[in-house]
Amino acid sequence: EFLGLYGMMCYHSAYTDEEIIRWSVKLFRHYCIEGKRERLSKDPYILSHVKNPDFDEGTIGWTLSPAEPGSIDTRNVPDYSYLQGRYPKTTHGENVLWTRRSAKAPNRFSQEIRDLVPGRLYLFKMLTADYQRFLLGNGVAPFKAVEAKREMTIGIEDVELIPAESFQITYANEKAGKGFTQENKLPITHHFLVFRARSEKAMLTISDWAGDTEPGGPIGQELMHNYIEVQPYLED
């Protein structure tokens, strides 16, 4: 009866997270099984929760609190977005916020998250990598994604955090380039934090220390941050 119909699947579904897999199942049912034509989601495609998430406009929208003069800046890092896995190759993602960890205090950058719906789940995402390792092409041997050591703090005020759905994981660069190969990989940390909004706004503060009194990582380490995104999270 179904000869020639073949089937449908998510392309590279093994690369993605559980939420996208759940979305895919719902999309298949909505359009392919139930035959509906209206959009499954009522959410807008363009997100408005965080301004300037890739630092393409410098530091507009962000409040910087450097630990000492010159310890926070923006940098342009050609080919970094391709190493992150953004495809096809694009210049989006080649601007970052750069921090150098100080022994005196943490570097912090913050912004008010807006347009939240109280009671709804949201997902915060960010990518971080070692800036000097990137510049020098100094990668590591191939490795499977591993749980990241806590060397940063991501704080979101006046929300309910959902630890069971949140994680930090370090993966190897997806594409070759900038001196990185299949044998020489750039570690990139993906921060994935799920929270339930309590009001229409929430203050996001990111620090390059593991806590208020504990640096957590090497003093002098230079990190680059971008792909900072807040989006609705599918709740079943």
Using CA atoms, how far residue 229 sits from 40, 55, 143, 221, in Å, is: 22, 12, 26, 24
pLDDT for res 12: 80
Each residue of 42-78: pLDDT tens digit?
999 899 999 999 999 999 999 999 999 999 999 999 9
pTM for this structure? 0.92
DSSP string, 9-20: --TTGGGS-HHH
Q: What angle do CA 17, 22, 24 make, to 5 degrees?
A: 100
- Whether pLDDT at 174 is above 90: no
Cβ pair 79, 127 in contact under 8 A: no
Instruction: In whole angstroms, give the CA distance from residue 226 to residue 80.
Output: 10
**Which range among 7-11, 116-120, 134-138, 177-181 shows the weakest confidence by mean pLDDT?**
7-11
What is the DSSP pairing of strand 95-100 with strand 159-161? unpaired
Look at 17 and 161; give whichever has higher pLDDT.
Answer: 161
What one-letter code names the amino acid at 201? K
Cβ pair 98, 74 in contact under 8 A: yes
DSSP string, 34-71: S---S-S--S-SS--SSSSTT-TTTTTT-EEE-SSTTS
pLDDT for res 197: 98
Cβ pair 165, 194 in contact under 8 A: yes
Using CA atoms, how far residue 153 sits from 139, 142, 148, 193, 228, in Å, is: 24, 27, 12, 11, 14
Q: What is the largest CA-CA distance in the chain?
A: 71
